Structure 1
């Protein structure tokens, strides 16, 4: 099978490669494209036809004697009033991108693929005839113009009336753009496949005539592809700082997209973050960098030194404050000890009075306890600052606890109560330490048993821990999912929670109405009854989360240490990292550099990867984006198989691709891969493209060549025929819209 793969400018290799950057042109760099009028009198008396390719994206016009169209512009018009000079402005083509006012008033003569705005068509014709240097009130040359497949008669009548009545042209001929393009291929049989701006058409050609009765039209073109790419980018970057225009989306589409030779296979390859990163293309949008005063190395070093000095001073201040607090505590301790030393020389009543006046304590025993505790704290802090080991806590003495209240005074009874509380706290701490020792002993025993099991059966031990790891990860994921569901009031978890709250409120209301306890349902007598409150409030979520995280860390640490098949990628963090790496490669191209939201350059970047093949794939799978029809490959195969064997063989040698989107790399290979299983085994297949490697100009060049033939002269609708039969009059020719 012979495939003629076009180079189309940059070439497939450049278009498919990733990890490159393309730059969106700045609108502020606009410069008017003033086109000098053609020297009409240089035609030397010849009478060439005026060829006009009226495409829904571009307008191309020129004389048939030219090798390329003299006019090649966007087919849009902008009309607005300029306020400064108070004048009306009319711009055509690229000039509509002059400023914000012109861009806001851009209009096209087409609605989709249908020409409906005659006033804009008139503006385009005015610009064309003036630029071609025709300064007379009458057009002397015949006009040949393209139209859409199955163009409505009212559209042709509107155009014919304008050309004959307004411009006084001698004759007009209409033809289908894709068939004019096919006429260059020098093949009498084949398929004319046009990937246009608003639609894609497939027209079979037999014996030099287009069979319109078998033609197919797919409502998908370059405009829909660019819009789809823009929508995918908006979903991917919802907070993008600038508005992406349709022209910028078209630029991105042509510069980044390509047809995948095997779409499903390339998608599977993109499961790897590395492949995703390799495929990514960075689209850099223009931005204004604010003026930032950069510091010198000396200034940066001086700032670091200042920060170090500030940190050192802060540490010194904290140490000084701690020393001052400790000194004050020691002075206070000495004062209380001095007061306690004067106790034997004073009467009890005098001592109690001084104790209440000079100290916050109510009794002598309370002061002694505070002195003992403070001395212990001071020793501990001094040893800690000196780096010495801290002595274990001494067992306190509670002398009044075992003495009966009858033997004690009123103050000693109060002290006894306080000592009981202190003793209970001491016993609780001792009990907790003992339980901790028992728990540690239990863990040591479990660890010993685990080591024994690991030594005897490493595989079984590893599988057991892997199962525990999966269970813990699932619990964490379920808990996270439940929290997310509770945030949505329409979720099942949130509805269940509200139902439980409503039932509890109803039960509480009924209980308040009951005046006696005979009807008590006994709720709360069982500990399990209170689980409903914990389930509703979620108080145990944080504790369970901490336990699961601790258990997961222990399991993964042991597996990493002893299981040679368990790597960092198998941990929960490793699994999340792999997922995050794929997401990072999808959104940020897998760049090794860290993404900084404050960096204007990075925030004005789009990273396109899977979108590069997803958008063009719609031509072969239109259902991907809601278009209910078969794709280009399936329709082409169905059309070819509808002919007899000999006719099909001839047509398979002339599959001609044209249209603006046919420049997208990889189309030939993808069409071949799609047609091969649909056509007879090992049948020769040849896919052709523009001889000049510029499919955008195929239709105009086809018009220019065909308009010089005798066949074209016989297909002209003259002014006399227009006046007799009207604007809907059609003359049949091989490349026209009339069914043959």
Structure 2
């Protein structure tokens, strides 16, 4: 196999790619694909596929093409069931996406490149059978090799010539696997799995924060929680003692992690805003004053002499109406004076107490006006009924014909004029005219004054910072969430942690093999990047190993990418690739589940025939 220079492996130069090996390293969290001689994967994306309703029929979005995962989370699909590929229609869409972006037009053409793929530890034969069928039958690949990502990571960091024994701890998204490795081969029967990984940690943190901050329930989504977890969480070397330290307020203030959520700030009562609103209010008061001073206050003509000569009951009713009207005019003058006082106050002083007293005085004037106006309208209605129905004050009715006979012409004329006066009053009392319009303007002014007073008082009474209200404080969560790797019971899972499982696996070997395994404890996978992970594993091993026994714990240089780098490095070794690959002839002869074992592969156990 020719090892071409990196520059010759651009996707647009397809005729050079026929000699390159396609490396496809996938897990239930991310998919990484590229050429074997690349230093970094060409593609790195989440294993998600969605088809939005707004898109045209048949168009799908994959991985990084999905701009906002949370907006379409309910539409997301993946090819994995936990960490086993089960939905091969989605896997085919992802293969098409990968081949297209690498410059391989797979539709209607052959993929003339060897393929190296990773699979889950102890992958079911049926899943491998369907994967081989897809690659050989649909894409016509010449050969394919399968391996375990944790062992490829070990191969990248520690080539098989350097070590042949070790205990690999692979921290995955859905589980954590512990793989004993002796004499250059995986001890499949001794491997164990802990059902705790990145997904369980993110779910645990999400529920804890939603319970702690119920008002920000919608803002605590999966994407934000995962980002917080990877950036700020860490492994505690001594969980109990550090947890106790968080009860100290000073320690909490020094170490708490404050996360600011997006929010809309409340408009503050700044000097500019205050002056603008007060100037607007001054103009509004001035308009109301002009309305009350320019329009006529007396609503009826002065017919006092005529109604005094009229019937005594009608005359007394008119006199009461006249007195009420005079009182109303007096109250209106007081209201105008109060309004003018407000204009002077707003121009000359900024005393909040004086402004409050003035607004209360204006409210009292308005209240008195409304009460007097109500009495005036009631008296007017009573007087009108007296004219129309001929009722007297004591309730006695007069004969209409007799009344017409006894009334002289002057009384008839006076009655006509007074009825005209009442009609004029009713005309001016329409909602859009006269007193109703002036009182309405005064009521609107009072509402505006109340709004300014309320906004200012709210700003003064606001004792908390709005930005601080939209903050998440991560305290004990920073160590409690990662701790479920070692104590799953914290999250309510009834199983042993990573340390207990390592102790159990070591107990399956004799002392000599135990000593070989613990001399090379290798940590890989995304969660291995937690700070203090190596120190914590060393502390756990020290607690279970014999006194003064030796061991060594190392971590992958790049826990997330070392698996891909190891697979790419492995694929570029012609001998390893030829010995560990399945050809089309092997597939047709031995079945899709067939696996060629190698140093980084699962152990092949043929399915029992019925």
* TM-score interval, smaller chain: 0.5 to 0.7
Query: Is the 8 Å Cα contact of residues 14 and 103 (structure 2) preserved in structure 1?
Result: no
Pick aligned residue for 1:161 from 133, 137, 155? 133
State the partner residue of 1:674: 540
Separation in 2, partners of 1:158, 1:250: 32
Measured at CA, do residues 290 and 720 of structure 1 come closer, stay the same or move farther in structure 2, by a change above 3 Å? Answer: farther
State the partner residue of 1:212: 188
Pick aligned residue for 1:89 from 44, 51, 59? 59
Structure 2 residue runs without a partner (length 5+): 1-8, 279-344, 363-459, 606-610
Is 2:74 the counterpart of 1:117?
no
Query: Is the 8 Å Cα contact of residues 82 and 88 (structure 1) preserved in structure 2?
Result: no
Is 2:209 the counterpart of 1:233?
yes
Separation in 2, partners of 1:239, 1:77: 31
1:116-195 counterparts in 2 under 5 A? 116-135=86-105, 137-186=109-158, 187-195=163-171
Separation in 2, partners of 1:706, 1:731: 15
State the partner residue of 2:248: 272
- Further displaced range: 663-672 or 178-187: 178-187
Shift of 1:123: 1.1
Structure 1 residue runs without a partner (length 5+): 1-36, 318-593
Shift of 1:87: 4.7
State the partner residue of 1:711: 576
Pick aligned residue for 1:256 from 221, 232, 236? 232
Measured at CA, do residues 100 and 89 of structure 1 come closer, stay the same or move farther in structure 2, by a change above 3 Å? Answer: farther
> Cα RMSD between the aligned structures?
3.0
Shift of 1:267: 1.3
Measured at CA, do residues 263 and 134 of structure 1 come closer, stay the same or move farther in structure 2, by a change above 3 Å? Answer: same
Separation in 1, partners of 2:194, 2:491: 13
State the partner residue of 2:271: 295
Is 2:342 the counterpart of 1:305?
no
TM-score under structure 1 length normalisation:
0.54
State the partner residue of 2:518: 652
Separation in 2, partners of 1:270, 1:646: 42
Deviations 1:522-551 (A, max 9, x none): xxxxxxxxxxxxxxxxxxxxxxxxxxxxxx
Separation in 1, partners of 2:504, 2:37: 39
TM-score under structure 2 length normalisation:
0.64
Shift of 1:171: 0.9
Shift of 1:314: 10
State the partner residue of 1:616: 482
Separation in 1, partners of 2:100, 2:461: 53
Separation in 2, partners of 1:99, 1:267: 34
Is 2:559 the counterpart of 1:695?
yes
Measured at CA, do residues 661 and 46 of structure 1 come closer, stay the same or move farther in structure 2, by a change above 3 Å? Answer: same
State the partner residue of 1:601: 467
Separation in 1, partners of 2:53, 2:273: 54
The structure whose RCO (Cα within 8 Å, separation 6+) is larger is 1
Work out the number of aligned pairs and report it.
424
Pick aligned residue for 1:683 from 549, 556, 562? 549
Shift of 1:723: 1.3
Measured at CA, do residues 314 and 148 of structure 1 come closer, stay the same or move farther in structure 2, by a change above 3 Å? Answer: closer
Shift of 1:649: 2.9
Deviations 1:454-493 (A, max 9, x none): xxxxxxxxxxxxxxxxxxxxxxxxxxxxxxxxxxxxxxxx
Separation in 2, partners of 1:315, 1:712: 91
Separation in 2, partners of 1:113, 1:53: 13
Separation in 2, partners of 1:98, 1:198: 23
Measured at CA, do residues 142 and 98 of structure 1 come closer, stay the same or move farther in structure 2, by a change above 3 Å? Answer: same
State the partner residue of 2:6: none
